[in-house]
Amino acid sequence: MKHLALPLLLASLAATPAVTDAAQPFTAARSWEIQRIGNPEVSPDGRHIVAPVSRTAMSDDKLLVDLWLWSADGSVQRPLTGDPASEATPRFSPDGQTLAFIAQRDDDKAPQLYLLPLAGGEARRLTTFATGVSVPRWVGNGRLVFASRVWADLALDQQAKRLKDREESKMKAQVWDAGPVSVFDTLQDDRQGHVFSVDVASGEVASITLGRGLQLPRFSQGFEGTFDISPDGRELAFTADSNPAINVDDVDVYLMPLAGGEARNLSQGNPGTDGSPLYSPDGRHLVFLQQRTPGFYAAKARPILHDLRSGSTRELHADWDRSASGLAWSRDSRTLYGAIDDAGTTRVYELPLTGKPRAITGESSFSGLSVASGAIAAVRQSFTEPPTLVSLDPRRGAARKLSTLNDALLADTALGSFESVTYAGAKGEPIQMWVNYPAGFDRTKKYPVFVVIHGGPHNAVVNATQFRWNAQVFASWGYVVIQPNFHGSSGFGEKFTDSINPEWAQMPYEDVIASATWAAAQPWADADRMVAGGGSYGGYLTSVILGREHPFKALVAHAKVYNLYTQYAADFGTTVPRFGGFWEEGNREVIDRNSPHLSAANFKTPTLVIHGQRDLRVPVNHGVELFQTLLVKGVPTRLVYFADENHWVLKPQNSVFWYGEVKRWLDQYNPPAGG
């Protein structure tokens, strides 16, 4: 399988960070001391970079986010804002004189646009838009466009009153005629997503898409990637559902002149999802991403290039077996760059309009590309390097480190090493896997093994710092942590990703068991002290393993799908399933083979069950059902329930508690030899 060639080049053991007697272990609490750098924005002249930086206020149980400024030569690193409210989405004006950003300050009822003069002075609020502002884009120096969810039947100046009336009403019932009822942790109301513009001088807001018969996709968790504005400000590219059926989605890319006229469907005829429109800086081309398999969120995302002069449309790099993502244009409009999920690493690729794709980075993962002339600002990270701002040479792939915010913390922290390996999985096919070793790892000693099963299922484990299920935290407990990119994982070609549908369980189960077999054969492994766990799909597969043969002494199942029948009522259950409903002929047999609850007779392994009340992706009943089934069967179990968390554990204090409960469970049921 050619798609695994590159990880084989990375299989040499990553350099082990120096460990001193004074270095502190990488605990869960210490992981929250890391300052997290978000996606950067390069100034038009390429001399400055702004990015959001998050730091933890543990006593207040929240993240504080400020904007920081760097010079491209690395000589400047300083905070740009310091308001108690968090700032996000920095955007330089075309003349480089003003920075727009989003914040919810003082008496703001929703996030608003603020403008900060870079010559000096305080930021001023530009909008007071009742339903909030997101994903701003500049149109020249005098106007911005943004997205918001509004009531289409109500004048803009009446939106605030309806919000207030609903908030104050004692009657809290809601009514739906179509889905989605919820997206992850948020109930959806009867508002629609639309694009608006705001005048910088007056603050006057005008609607662009409202009343035009289309709306931004209903299933959007946010509005990133749903629209773009042409450089001359005359045309909007946006995404909308072209199928009027309430139980079928067909998201297409539309072009609409701002001066008036009909919206034109640019991707009509493709039944899959089209999205992420992006104009070239010279205004000649529009690129967007096209998926051609309806109902398959991980289908290959193909870059489609539309020539705005000739009207021609063509697919770029049709033979390239990767999904395009995180695209950014070069300043000369001749090349696209992307942060591409590629065989266990998020690599930067050069995607020329003519020629072949070329990977320009190697082992570390990169994201948040912002392109200047001759350089790319990006966030670099790995299992042992937290998000770090770098300047990337697009020709050689060399990265120059710009941010030093976490250097002192890392210098005083004991981190382990890691490597990429391959082993034979289901059907004898090679599976790439990351192995993280404890600090001070000694190959002559024996270590317990923790198999961490990733979620998705169509999301690979990449070489990056995970703030949930952090391999370095688990390794600080003395475990060797292995993370297989089993069949179904992204980044190894569309055939590999789609190979488990609709049989979710079988090949991933075989791959995980084979990963444990590989580990048990290593001279450093204590084969009698192996555990496994995961969240979301990883929790589902853990529940599958619970009912089948396996070598694990204890399991951890977080936000797991336990009953595939009841999962039809989750937040994605409002459109016709790709393979049909369970009520259709032949489908019950598939579900019965793959639903963990039907193997309850075989449950015998101590299992920690974790779930959040606000989880609407996998509703909380799944966790309660698994926990109570284990109780009835007399299998050791514990339920950790978070009333204020959703599909993930996001609050700092809850996160530290989560890690503590996992460690407590593993210490109890996978104790050291003789313990």
Query: What pLDDT is stored for residue 252 in this prediction?
Result: 98
Task: Please identify which residue in the block is written with the tokens 């999962």.
Answer: 567
Look at residue 315 and give its three-state secondary structure: strand
In this structure, how many other beta carbons lie within 10 angstroms of the beta carbon of residue 108?
A: 17
d(C-alpha 269, C-alpha 80), whole Å: 47
The answer for residues whose C-beta is within 8 angstroms of residue 260's C-beta and 6 or more apart is none
CA distance 390 to 379: 6
Q: What is the helix (H) or strand (E) element at residue 538, kind and residue range? A: helix 537-546
Say how far apart CA 195 and CA 181 lie, in whole Å. Answer: 22
Query: CA-to-CA distance for 628 and 625, rounded, in angstroms?
Result: 5
How does DSSP classify residue 158?
A: G
* Residue 158 to residues 61, 152, 165, 340, Cα–Cα distance (Å): 35, 11, 11, 43
Q: Are strands 335-342 and 328-329 parallel, antiparallel or unpaired?
A: antiparallel
Q: How many domains does the chain have?
A: 1
pLDDT in tens, 478-536: 999 999 999 999 999 999 999 999 999 999 999 999 999 999 999 999 999 999 999 99
Tell me if 549 is assigned to some domain.
Answer: yes
SS3 content of the chain, % helix, strand, coil (to 5): 20, 30, 50
Q: Are 546 and 557 in contact (CB under 8 A)?
A: yes
Q: Which helix (H) or strand (E) holds 532?
A: strand 525-535
Q: Which of 112, 143, 139 is nearest to 127 (CA)?
A: 112
- Determine the Cα–Cα distance for residues 596 and 603; give it in Å rounded to an integer: 10
Count of alpha carbons within 13 angstroms of residue 362, beta-carbon side:
11
- Structure confidence at residue 672 (pLDDT): 86
In a domain, 624, yes or no: yes
- The DSSP H or E segment spanning 130 is none
Alpha-carbon distances of 375 from 36, 48, 650, rounded to whole Å: 22, 12, 34
532 - beta bridge partners?
451, 555
Classify residue 461: in a domain, yes or no: yes
**Encoded tokens for 22:** 């004074």
The answer to the question of residue 564 being in a domain is yes
State how far the Cα of 228 lies from the Cα of 248, in Å rounded to an integer.
25
CATH code for the domain of 618: 3.40.50.1820
Residue type, 643: A
Give me the sign of the Cα torsion angle 12, 18, 20, 26. negative
Residues linked to residue 71 through DSSP beta bridges, in sequence order? 48
Q: Which amino acid is at 389?
A: L
The residue ranges of the chain whose pLDDT is under 50 are 1-19
Instruction: Report if residue 79 sits inside a domain.
Output: no
pTM of the model: 0.94
The SS3 assignment for 587 reads: helix
- Quick: pLDDT tens for 52-96: 999 999 999 999 999 999 999 999 999 999 999 999 999 999 999
Question: From CA 457, how far away is CA 312, in angstroms rounded?
Answer: 36
Neighbours of 54 (CB within 10 A): 17
Confirm whether 421 is domain-assigned.
Answer: yes
**Is 635 buried (19+), middle (13-18) or exposed (0-12) by CB count in 10 A?**
middle
In a domain, 81, yes or no: no
**Are 560 and 546 contacting, i.e. CB atoms less than 8 angstroms apart?**
no
Quick one: how far is CA 55 from the chain centroid? 19
* Range(s) of the domain holding residue 432: 416-669
Q: Per DSSP, what are the bridge partners of residue 179?
A: none
For residues 274 and 289, is the Cβ–Cβ distance under 8 A? yes
CA torsion angle for 551, 552, 553, 558 (degrees, to 10)?
A: -160
- Token code pair at residue 595: 């639903």
In a domain, 357, yes or no: no
Integer Cα distance of 165 and 157 in angstroms: 14
Write the burial class of residue 312 (CB in 10 Å: 0-12 exposed, 13-18 middle, 19+ buried): exposed
